Copies of this chain bind each other. A is one copy, B any other.
Amino acid sequence: MNPTTASPRTLEWIGGIDGSVRLIDQTRLPTELVYRDCQTVEEVWEAIKVLRVRGAPAIGVAAAMGVVVGLKNQTAAERETFFLRLTEVTRYLASSRPTAVNLFWALERMEGTAQNHPAPFQPQAMRQRLLQEALAIEAEDRQMCRDIGRHGAEVVPDSGGVLTHCNAGGLATADYGTALAVLYSAAEQGKRFSVYADETRPLLQGARLTAWELSQRGLDVTLICDSTAAQVMKEGRIGMVVVGADRIAANGDTANKIGTYGVALLAQAHGIPFYVAAPSSTFDLSLPNGDAIPIEQRDPAEITRGFGKQTAPEGIKVYNPAFDVTPARLITGLITERGIIRPVTADGIRRMVSAASGLALADAISEREAASGGVR
């Protein structure tokens, strides 16, 4: 087992200020490892939309870099023109996918960086500053993966199996993942466990991406159908479930790939700890609970014509939400880059996430919530 083998970069900035976003085209995995250079903001938007790049943290990094790409022609723009274009670009990128909050978080951070840039306005300096910020987001994402891995490794069992759903690995981030970072880190510490990867219909990120990157890094992985998760739990093969997240509400309700909620219920029924690993950029404290998280509906053809062959009757009705929301009560702990929030309470989340984003705790926690011990 060689968990430290370097893997190809999920996405990176290529060149200087007029450069491009190079990313692994994940729709071609696992049979082909193909890179794609996005030279225009339209190409970045399309790459996010059709899931060439996916995973909440990676989407955030791609969007930040996409902003820089989208300002390529603003080399001599006036301030007003520049900011109009900036707004246009961020709105456009924000329309690519609705659920992962990291997308909006990264775009807001890029806008804030531009707005806070000291006068006088100079378009080239501004573009340099924005590239610097995008690269900082990427660097923080890489550090975040390591920190999540370090904190989470302690809750990984020293033997037996760990189940994961979808892909919250290196391919979902700029480094080695969130949920899978926890496993990579535990493996680096010498823990011996096997991983069961749900294939994750309809787009099979578990089969195509998770199974691929785990085996690339030398971890022991077994692929199962989503519908086999209950059975491997019943057989006593699973000691822990760990997944990523696309958005976490203030109370801990967690949006993640469709099927996650079901896995959480099955884990509860079998008495198996269920963890979510995500950076503070995935928390959306503006939403009191998961009911308000927008859920992306995707093309029925993902189910009826997946992977080259029609497998359902012509014209059949299809319900294809890309995400579901797992209530906080089913989550044993939230593994963040600052530590593990366990038990999952609004109070615990507020303290951890506010600290991470540099806000004063006194501002973050209202008297009322502190008094009531959280609003779970």
Binding site for B on A (CB under 8 A): 30-31, 165, 196, 198-202, 204, 207-208, 211-212, 215, 220-232, 234, 258-259, 261-262, 265-266, 268-269, 300, 303-304, 306-314, 316-321, 324
Contacts and interface: CB of A to CB of B under 8 A. Distances in A.
A304 B215 CA distance: 15
A223 B317 contact: yes
A326 to B, nearest CB: 9
Contacts of A225: 201-202, 226, 258-259, 303, 320
Contact of A221 (B265, B314, B316, B324): B316
A266 B258 contact: no
| Chain A, interface SS category | mixed
A34 to B, nearest CB: 15
A198 B215 CA distance: 30
Contacts of A311: 30, 199, 204, 207-208, 307
The CB with the most chain B CB atoms within 10 A, among A227, A229, A269, is that of A227
Contacts of A259: 225-228, 230
Contact of A230 (B262, B307, B308): B262
Nearest to A259: B227
Contacts of A196: 319
Nearest to A225: B201
A327 to B, nearest CB: 9
Nearest to A228: B258
A351 to B, nearest CB: 29
A83 to B, nearest CB: 41
A226 B211 contact: no
Contacts of A258: 225, 227-228, 231
A230 B324 contact: yes
A223 B208 CA distance: 23
Given A319-B228, A324-B234, A304 B223 contact: yes
A226 B319 CA distance: 11
Contact of A223 (B211, B230, B266, B303): B303
